[in-house]
Amino acid sequence: MSAQYNCQRCHLPLVIDSSLTNLTKAQGHLLTSGRLGYGRDRDDNSEKLLGNPPFIPAERQRRLDRSTSNVREPALVDWRSDGDSFVILPQFEGQDEDREDDDDVEDKIVSTRVKMLSSIFNLLSSKGDLDYPVCGECAKLLIESMKLQYDQVIKERDAYVQFLQKLENRPGQDTGKLQDTMDHINDLKGKEGDLLKELQGLEAENDQLDDEIVSLEKELETIDKEEQQFQMELNRQAIEVDELIKERDTVTAEYKFNLLQLEKLRKTNVYSDTFNISHDGPFATINGLRLGSLDGIRVPWREINSALGQVILLLATITTRLNFKLVGYKLKPMGSTSKIEKYEPDPSNPSKPKVTILEAYSSGDYQIERLFNHSNLDNSLVAILDILSQISNHLQKYDTNIELPYKMVNHKIGEASIRLGSKVADDEWTSACKFLLTNTKWILAYSSAHIPLR
């Protein structure tokens, strides 16, 4: 045999006896079909040992019959029935075997024998508390254990028999006590009938309660579904509320940020940021460009010209912001070559004023250039002082208490002349340039803070 069997007790490999491995189909069917009358010869003795079957009241028997009338499977199974005590092995038709080759026939025979042995072992295992197959040594140990149990049962049986004989040999009891016992039994039977009726009422009430429980369970299921839908809707609304809260917080944060930015912008003076007037040592500066020159510190004319161009651009910006039109001047901001147009009456042509171009820059440091250019530059600087005076007088319309830090009269500002003349560098001229930028910065700050845009 190709199948390997182990002892179900010690789990060692077994060698199956040839009397089992060489069983024919008929022998195997006879062993597993359960038609040897196994257990039938013991029916009478078993009934004698067990006694009469238990008493079932007629009402309960009828209830049992009604409840099992529509059931396909029997409610009670007779232990003597052999319907499930065997396994039907598949039958192989002769014509199928004829169509197969010799190897397939041999494999099917081996498979059939293995299945037959498994069925026999399963049948044996179902008849008792032991699992089969078992080896010879384990079988001997089991037999010895069963013998000990048998001897113990025999001893207990003899003890019961002796005790029963003693009871039978005792003298008869008082008939009065026996009658009392019978009366008590009859009384108990009456109580039993009452209790059975009460039991029937309770069972009916139990059936009614079962129906109510089924109805309540259906109602509870409906409520659970509604609650689940309500929870889903509640969760959806909660998610929407959270999203709205997040959106609100985002908008609020953005609003606060914009308010801060607006406040910063309100406090920011764009003109002061565009025209940064400061100082660098002894020089006044505008956007980092020095205006002035000293003997010890020479400032290139390119830088001075660029600074004067920033001053003219700043004055043009202030007049535009104040919507103020200069009298006799027109500013031409052109970087380091900025100019000022000066308008004067022309006696020869009263209808058309005379225009003079004042160049607010110098071309170099050579002596011959200073003779021709510095005079034009000086006129431009004096014109700038006049323009600052006009803007200051215009601001006094808004506030009569306005007073510039440095007083300007003709070509002087703060007692320093703005004219450079033929000099290349001069301390007085450098100071006058510083005073000029100071007054310009003051006018710029006041007009930005107090005069609204138009």
Alpha-carbon distance values, 267 to 273, 278, 453 (Å): 12, 20, 15
Q: Are residues 303 and 433 in the same domain?
A: yes
Q: Are residues 317 and 414 in the same domain?
A: yes
Instruction: Note whether residue 316 is domain-resident.
Output: yes
- Are 346 and 332 within 8 A, CB to CB? no
Q: Is the pLDDT of residue 73 over 60?
A: no
Which of 146, 87, 92 is closest to 117 using CA atoms?
Answer: 87
Confidence band for 30, pLDDT divided at 50, 70 and 90? confident
Q: Are residues 371 and 256 in the same domain?
A: no
Please tell me which residue, 53 or 176, carries the higher pLDDT value. 176
Q: Are residues 79 and 211 in the same domain?
A: no
Q: Are residues 116 and 252 in the same domain?
A: no
The confidence score (pLDDT) of residue 310 equals 93
Over residues 406-440, the pLDDT tens digits come to 998 888 888 888 887 756 567 888 899 999 999 99
Confidence band for 295, pLDDT divided at 50, 70 and 90? confident
Strand order in the sheet with 412-413: 408-409, 412-413, 416-417
The confidence score (pLDDT) of residue 423 equals 63
d(CA 427, CA 424): 11
Over residues 204-253, the pLDDT tens digits come to 999 999 999 999 999 999 999 999 999 999 999 999 999 999 999 999 99
- The residue among 268, 295, 315 that closes a domain is 268
**Average pLDDT over the chain, rounded to an integer:** 79
Q: Are residues 229 and 274 in the same domain?
A: no
Q: Is the pLDDT of residue 312 over 90?
A: yes
Residue range 360-374: mean pLDDT, rounded: 62
Q: Are residues 244 and 281 in the same domain?
A: no
Q: Are residues 76 and 119 in the same domain?
A: yes
Please tell me the pTM assigned to this model: 0.45
Q: Which of 129-143, 204-218, 319-333, 365-379 has the lowest mean pLDDT?
A: 365-379
Q: Are residues 45 and 130 in the same domain?
A: yes
Over residues 393-413, the pLDDT tens digits come to 898 888 888 888 899 888 888
Q: Terminal CA-to-CA distance of the chain, rounded, Å?
A: 116
The confidence score (pLDDT) of residue 370 equals 53
Instruction: Note whether residue 67 is domain-resident.
Output: yes
Q: Are residues 70 and 80 in the same domain?
A: yes
Share above pLDDT 70 across residues of the chain, in percent, rounded to a whole number: 76
Residue range 111-125: mean pLDDT, rounded: 78
d(CA 176, CA 166): 23
- Are 418 and 385 within 8 A, CB to CB? yes
Instruction: Note whether residue 95 is domain-resident.
Output: yes
- The residue among 247, 268, 289 that closes a domain is 268
Q: Are residues 90 and 186 in the same domain?
A: no
Query: How do 408-409 and 412-413 pair as beta strands?
Result: antiparallel
Residue range 276-292: mean pLDDT, rounded: 88
Alpha-carbon distance values, 137 to 10, 59, 125, 129, 340 (Å): 9, 56, 18, 18, 134
Q: Are residues 243 and 283 in the same domain?
A: no
d(CA 118, CA 198): 53
Range of the domain at 59: 5-134
**71-80, 137-146, 165-174, 369-378 — most confident range:** 137-146
Instruction: Note whether residue 176 is domain-resident.
Output: no
Instruction: Note whether residue 342 is domain-resident.
Output: yes
The total number of structural domains in the chain stands at 3
Instruction: Note whether residue 159 is domain-resident.
Output: no
- The residue among 268, 297, 329 that closes a domain is 268
With H, G, I as helix, E, B as strand and everything else as coil, classify residue 115.
Answer: helix
Report cis status (omega within 30 of 0) of the bond before 13: no
d(CA 309, CA 419): 17
The confidence score (pLDDT) of residue 258 equals 92
Please tell me which residue, 18 or 39, carries the higher pLDDT value. 18
Q: Is the pLDDT of residue 49 over 50?
A: no
Residue range 282-293: mean pLDDT, rounded: 89
Instruction: Note whether residue 187 is domain-resident.
Output: yes
